[in-house]
C-alpha cells in the first residue's frame, strides 16, 4: 500500500458518532462529530440503548458528511472498549463501506486513539510522540495508565477498579444537581470555591498502579447527606482537587519508576484545566516533558481512530508483514501490543 494512504476513521464507542478522513498520516481532511449529549442530558449519564439508537440514526449522515467524494484506501473503526451497541453499529457501517469500496478494514483500540490524538496540533497530526513515555488516558469510561515503549508496544500498568475519573465527575455533578456532562460543570463551579474547604480522600492504592474513584464520590454523597447549607463551589473545588491530585501523583510516580522523560495525557478529562496545570507544573519540577491532547480533540472523535489506524498501516508497510486486522468488537478490550 502506498505511504500517503487516505483513511476513513469511524468512532462510535460511547456517545459521540464521528467520522474523519486522514491523508498521509498528517493531513486531517475532515472530522465530523455528532454529540448525543442532548439525548442523555435528562438522565445525567449515557443510556446505552439510547446511544445505540442515536448511532444507528446518525452514522450514515456523519460518514457522508466527512467523506464526500474523497477516495479512500482503508476504513478504520474503534472496535473497543466501549458500549456493545455502539461498537456494533460502527463495525457494520465500517465493514459495509470497506466491502463496497474494496479496501481493507482495520479495528482500532479506542484508548490507543486517545493516546495518538496527542499528536494533533491545529488540525494536523504533525507532532510525533517521543518514546518511551507513560500515558494517562482518562475519560468517562476509562482511566488507564500505560507504559508505551513505542507505537504499538505497550504495557498496561493500571486501570480503574470501579468508576472512571470522568464518571466520578458526572456522578458528583448529578448529586449536586448540575447538568450532564458533569466534568466541565464541576470545573466551572470549582473556580469559585476553596480547594481546601473539605478533605476528600486521595485513593492512592499503594503497591498498585490501579485507580479507584468511587470512594471519593461516596465521600461527597456522605458529605451532602450530613451537612446543610453546603457551598456547591467548595464541594466542586475540593472534589476536583482530590481527583486531580490522585491522577497526577500516580502518573508522575509511574514516570519516575519507569525512568521515562515523557508523559502523554488524553481522553475527555484531559480537557480539565486543573489537571493540565498541575500535571505540567509537577512534571516540570520533576524534569519531565508533559504532552496534553489539544482540547478540541480530547473528547471522542474519529480523527484519533484514523491516526491510530495509520500507525498500524505504516508499520505493516515498513516491515512488509502480512497485516492481520482484528475486526471483532470487544466492549472490554485491553490495550495490546501489535509491534
Ligand atoms: O473521552 P470522552 O468524550 O468519552 C468517553 O470515552 O468517556 O470523555 C467524556 C468524559 C465525561 O465524563 C466528562 O464529564 C469528562 O470527560 N470531562 C471532564 C471535562 N471535560 C469532559 N471532566 C473533568 N473536567 C473537564 N473539563
Q: Are residues 141 and 223 in the same domain?
A: yes
Ligand 1 neighbours by CB, cut-off 6 Å: 14, 139-141, 166-167, 169-170, 181-184, 187, 267-269, 271-272, 299-300
Atom of ligand 1 nearest to the CA of 182: 14
Q: Are residues 172 and 54 in the same domain?
A: no
Q: Are residues 264 and 137 in the same domain?
A: yes
pLDDT of 2 higher than 90: no
- Here the CATH number for the domain that contains residue 192 is 3.30.420.40
Q: Are residues 73 and 144 in the same domain?
A: no
Ligand 1 pocket, mutate which of 169, 190, 301 (most atoms under 8 A from CB) = 169
179 assigned to some structural domain: yes
Domain count of the chain? Answer: 2
Question: Quick check: helix, strand or coil at residue 28?
Answer: strand
334 assigned to some structural domain: no
Task: Assign 65 a pLDDT band (cuts: 50, 70, 90).
Answer: very high
The per-residue pLDDT for range 159-181, each reduced to its tens digit, is: 999 999 999 999 999 999 999 99
339 assigned to some structural domain: no
78 assigned to some structural domain: yes
Helices (H) and strands (E) in the chain, counts: 10, 12
Residues with Cβ within 8 Å of 153's Cβ and at least 6 positions away in sequence, in order, are 337, 339
Phi, psi of 106 (to 5 degrees): -120, 130
256 assigned to some structural domain: yes
Q: Are residues 140 and 257 in the same domain?
A: yes
Q: Are residues 277 and 303 in the same domain?
A: no
325 assigned to some structural domain: no
In angstroms, what is the span from residue 165 Cα to ligand 1's centroid? 8
pLDDT at position 94: 98
The domain containing residue 280 runs over which residues? 133-294
Q: Are residues 141 and 288 in the same domain?
A: yes
Task: Assign 44 a pLDDT band (cuts: 50, 70, 90).
Answer: confident
Q: From CA 144, how far away is CA 192, in angstroms rounded?
A: 30
Percent of the chain with pLDDT over 70: 99
CA distances in angstroms from 229 to 151, 197, 224, 291, listed in the order given: 51, 14, 9, 40
pLDDT at position 324: 73
Q: From CA 82, how far away is CA 68, in angstroms rounded?
A: 27
333 assigned to some structural domain: no
328 assigned to some structural domain: no
Q: Omega before 191 cis (within 30°)?
A: no
Ligand 1 pocket, mutate which of 14, 138, 140 (most atoms under 8 A from CB) = 140
Q: Are residues 210 and 308 in the same domain?
A: no
User: What global pTM score does this model have?
Assistant: 0.96
Q: From CA 19, how far away is CA 216, in angstroms rounded?
A: 36
Task: Assign 4 a pLDDT band (cuts: 50, 70, 90).
Answer: confident
Q: Are residues 169 and 122 in the same domain?
A: no
Q: Are residues 159 and 282 in the same domain?
A: yes
In angstroms, what is the span from residue 318 Cα to ligand 1's centroid? 36
Q: Are residues 82 and 195 in the same domain?
A: no
Q: From CA 143, how far away is CA 163, in angstroms rounded?
A: 8
* N residues, the chain: 339
Inter-residue long-range contacts of 172-179, CB under 8 Å, 24+ positions, other chains counted: 172/217, 172/220, 172/235, 172/236, 172/239, 173/44, 174/44, 174/45, 175/217, 175/220, 175/221, 175/224, 176/224, 176/232, 176/235, 176/236, 178/232, 179/41, 179/44
The per-residue pLDDT for range 241-260, each reduced to its tens digit, is: 999 999 999 999 999 999 99
pLDDT at position 322: 66
Q: Are residues 166 and 120 in the same domain?
A: no
Amino acid at each position: 500500500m502506498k505511504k500517503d494512504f487516505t483513511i476513513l476513521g469511524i468512532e462510535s464507542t460511547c456517545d459521540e458518532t464521528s467520522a474523519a478522513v486522514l491523508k498521509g498520516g498528517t493531513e486531517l481532511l475532515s472530522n465530523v462529530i455528532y454529540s448525543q449529549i442532548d439525548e442523555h442530558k435528562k438522565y445525567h449519564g449515557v443510556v446505552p440503548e439510547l446511544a445505540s439508537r442515536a448511532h444507528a440514526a446518525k452514522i450514515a449522515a456523519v460518514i457522508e458528511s466527512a467523506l464526500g467524494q474523497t477516495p479512500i484506501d482503508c476504513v478504520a473503526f474503534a472496535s473497543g472498549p466501549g458500549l456493545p451497541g455502539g461498537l456494533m453499529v460502527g463495525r457494520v457501517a465500517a465493514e459495509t463501506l470497506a466491502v463496497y469500496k474494496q479496501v481493507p478494514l482495520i479495528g482500532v483500540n479506542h484508548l490507543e486513539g486517545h493516546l495518538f490524538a496527542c499528536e494533533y496540533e491545529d488540525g494536523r497530526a504533525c507532532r510525533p510522540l517521543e518514546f518511551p513515555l507513560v500515558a494517562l488516558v482518562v475519560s468517562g469510561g476509562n482511566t488507564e495508565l500505560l507504559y508505551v515503549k513505542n507505537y504499538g508496544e505497550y504495557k498496561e500498568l493500571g486501570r480503574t477498579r470501579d468508576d472512571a475519573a470522568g464518571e466520578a465527575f458526572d456522578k458528583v455533578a448529578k448529586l449536586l444537581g448540575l447538568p450532564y456532562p458533569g466534568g466541565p460543570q464541576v470545573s466551572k463551579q470549582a473556580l469559585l470555591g476553596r480547594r481546601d474547604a473539605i478533605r476528600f480522600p486521595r485513593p492512592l492504592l499503594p503497591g498498585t498502579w490501579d485507580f479507584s474513584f468511587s470512594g471519593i464520590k461516596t465521600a461527597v454523597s456522605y458529605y451532602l447527606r450530613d451537612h446543610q447549607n453546603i457551598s456547591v463551589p467548595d464541594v466542586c473545588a475540593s472534589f476536583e482537587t482530590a481527583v486531580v491530585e490522585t491522577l497526577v501523583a500516580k502518573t508522575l510516580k509511574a514516570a519516575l519508576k519507569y525512568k521515562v522523560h515523557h508523559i502523554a495525557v488524553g481522553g475527555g478529562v484531559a480537557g480539565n484545566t486543573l489537571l493540565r496545570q498541575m500535571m505540567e507544573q509537577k512534571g516540570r519540577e520533576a524534569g519531565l516533558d508533559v504532552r496534553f491532547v489539544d482540547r478540541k480533540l480530547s473528547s471522542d472523535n474519529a480523527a484519533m481512530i484514523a491516526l491510530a489506524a495509520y500507525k498500524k498501516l505504516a508499520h505493516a508497510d515498513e516491515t512488509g508483514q502480512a497485516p492481520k486486522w482484528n475486526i471483532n468488537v470487544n466492549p472490554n478490550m485491553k490495550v495490546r501490543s501489535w509491534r
